[in-house]
């Protein structure tokens, strides 16, 4: 998913954004809104990249263990369980 697509999705999910100021709810200016949405998109991209990097690293380890002749069960016992609480 491109940054532009993520931004479009975030804007559809959050047509307006507010924040608290002196016990009042204030709607963000268009500049604040755009900056916040872009920041959220960047964070989502970074999270997706981190997940992809972790999976690539896991596959590299699996390949190395296979070259050493380890069985799938032995490999799984050596590798940490992927974190399932990471959400897209």
CB atoms within 10 A of CB 6: 19
Residue 86 lies in a domain: no
Residue 7 lies in a domain: yes
- Beta strand extents in 1-88 (DSSP E only): 18-21, 24-27
Please compute, for residue 81, the number of CA atoms within 13 A of its CA located in the half-sphere on the CB side. Answer: 4
According to DSSP, the β-strands at 24-27 and 18-21 are antiparallel
Residue 52 lies in a domain: yes
Q: Is the pLDDT of residue 65 over 50?
A: yes
Residue 45 lies in a domain: yes
Using DSSP, state whether 63 is helix, strand or coil. Answer: helix
Q: How many domains does the chain have?
A: 1
Q: Which domain holds residue 48?
A: 3-78
- Which residue bears the tokens 């989502």? 44
Residue 43 lies in a domain: yes
Flag whether the pTM goes above 0.75.
Answer: no
**Confidence label for 80 from pLDDT (cuts 50, 70 and 90):** confident
Residue 83 lies in a domain: no
Using DSSP, state whether 4 is helix, strand or coil. Answer: helix
Residue 26 lies in a domain: yes
């Amino acid at each position: 998913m491109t940054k532009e697509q993520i931004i479009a999705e975030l804007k559809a999910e959050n047509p307006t954004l507010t924040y608290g100021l002196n016990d009042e709810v204030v709607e963000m200016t268009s500049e604040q809104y755009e900056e916040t949405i872009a920041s959220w998109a960047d964070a989502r991209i970074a999270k997706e990249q981190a997940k992809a990097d972790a999976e690539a690293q896991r596959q590299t380890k699996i390949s190395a263990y296979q070259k050493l002749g380890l069985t799938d069960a032995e490999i799984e016992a050596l590798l940490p369980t992927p974190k399932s609480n990471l959400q897209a």
